[in-house]
Amino acid sequence: MTLDPNHNYSNAALRIGDVDRYPRRRVGEFIGIVASNAGVNDEYRHIVVKVHEQALKAYAGQMFHLLCPSPDGAEVWMRRPMSVYRVDKAAGAVEFLYKIEGRGTRGMGKLQPGDEFNIAGPLGAGFKLEPAWKNIVVLGRGVGLATLAPLSQLAAEQGVGVTAILSARHQGVVMSKALFEELGARTVTVLDSDGTSAVENVERVIEELIAARKADAFFTCGSNRLLKLTQRLGKKHNIPGQVAMEQIMVCGFGACYVCMRTFEVDGKRVLRRVCREGPVFNMQEAVGW
C-alpha cells in the first residue's frame, strides 16, 4: 500500500505485534499507542506509550527520537530527542517525562490515550555502572532528572546505593522524588526559593557524602552549574563521573553531525556527537555549555 501524501508514517515502521523483517536491528522506528499523557505538576508531563517489544531494550541514559504531532496544523519538521524515563516491560511500554518548551512538545502534550505516536530508538550510549562503585551520587535539575531517574533503577538492580540531589526552583516543581525513593534512593531536595540550591550549599552536601564514603561516582544532567561543581569536586577527590548532554539533533543515528558538543581529551578540544558517542559522556571531558 502506498502512503497517503499527508501521512507522517513509514510503511516499514513497526506496530505492536508486528513480525520484524529485520530482526538484526538495534534500533527501530515504532508506531506506539499512547496509554496515558498527563501533567505531573505545573511544568512537567508524563507520557506512557505502548510499543513493539523491540523498543523495550532501552536502558538508562538512552533516548528515543519522537515524531511529535503538530500543535497548530503546520509541519513539525524534525523529531525531538527525549530520554527514556522508564521502561515497563510488563506493560510493554516506554515512558517519558517532558516539559513543554515549544511546538514539538506542545504537540506532544495534546496526544490522547489511544493516539498513535511514532518513536525511533533506543538511541545512543547511556549510563554505565562500574562494579567497583557501591554508592553513587545523582544530581539533576529540571527535566534533567527525567534522564537520571532510570539510573536509580539500574543501581537498585545491581545493589548500588543512590543519593539523589534534586534541584528545582521551588517545591512545586521538584521532579521524580517519589520515583527515586520508591527505588530505594535517599533524596536531598535543594531549592532556589529557600536558597538551598546555591552552589556553596550543594558543595557542602556533596562533601559530606564524600566524607561518609557515599560518593564513588557522580551522575548529572540538566545544569551547567552542577556539572562544573561535580567536575571540580571530582578532580579534587579523584571521583569519576558521567554527564548526559543535550544538543539540537537531526538524524539521531550519527550520520548528520548536527548534535555536536565540545570535549577536552588529553588537552585537545574535540567534537563528539550527542546522539552516538553520547548522550552520556565522561564528566571530566565535558566542556559544558
Partner 1 sequence: MVDLSVKIGDITLQNPVQPASGAFSWEYNDVIDLNRLGALVAKTICREPRLGNPTPRMAETEAGIIQSIGLPGKGIDYFIAHIVPEYAKFTPPLVVSVSSETIEDFAALAEELSVPDVDVIEANISCPTRNSTGGNFAMHEDYTRDCIKAIRAKTKKPLWVKLSPNAGDIVSIAKAAEAAGADALVIANTFLSLKIRTDNFRPALGNKFGGLVSPALKPIVLRMVYQVAKQVKIPIIGIGGVTKAEDVVEYMLAGASAVGIGYAGFRNPTALISIIDDLAAWCDERGITKVTELIGAVRDQDMETDTLAAASVGV
Ligand X SMILES: Cc1cc2nc3c(=O)[nH]c(=O)nc-3n(C[C@H](O)[C@H](O)[C@H](O)COP(=O)(O)OP(=O)(O)OC[C@H]3O[C@@H](n4cnc5c(N)ncnc54)[C@H](O)[C@@H]3O)c2cc1C
279 touches ligand X (CB under 6 A)? yes
Q: How far is the CB of 244 from ligand FMN (least distance, A)?
A: 23
At 32, the amino acid letter reads G
140 touches ligand X (CB under 6 A)? no
222 touches ligand X (CB under 6 A)? no
The three grid cell numbers given for residue 11, joined into one nine-digit string? 510503511
Interface pick for partner 1 out of 32, 92, 126, 252 (rule CB under 8 A): 252
CA gap 161, 109 in Å, rounded: 34
- Selected range binding partner 1 among 20-28, 89-97, 173-181, 279-287, rule: CB under 8 A: 20-28
Closest to partner 1 by CB, 18 or 192: 18
**Binds 226, which of ligand FMN, partner 1, ligand X, none (CB < 5 to 8 A, cut-off by type)?**
none
Q: Phi/psi of residue 31, each to 5°?
A: -105, 100
What torsion, rounded to 10 degrees, do the Cα atoms 218, 223, 229, 232 define? 70
Interface positions, 68-87, toward partner 1 (CB under 8 A): 74-79
141, β-bridge pairs: 167
Nearby residues of 282 by Cβ (< 8 Å), 6 or more positions away: 240, 241, 242, 243, 263
DSSP string, 218-256: EEEES-HHHHHHHHHHHHHHT--EEEE-----SSSSSSS
Interface positions, 92-151, toward partner 1 (CB under 8 A): 118, 120
Q: How far is the CB of 258 from partner 1 (least distance, A)?
A: 4
- Selected range binding ligand X among 91-99, 132-140, 202-210, 228-236, rule: CB under 6 A: 91-99
x/- site string to ligand FMN, residues 243 to 282, per CB under 6 A? -------x-----x--------------------------
- Selected range binding ligand X among 140-148, 158-166, 224-232, 233-241, rule: CB under 6 A: 140-148
3-state secondary structure of 57: helix
CA gap 92, 207 in Å, rounded: 41
Identify the CA nearest to 120 among candidates 68, 43, 184: 68
List interacting residues with ligand FMN (CB under 6 A): 250, 256
List interacting residues with ligand X (CB under 6 A): 63, 78, 80-83, 96-99, 101-105, 143, 146-147, 246-249, 274, 279
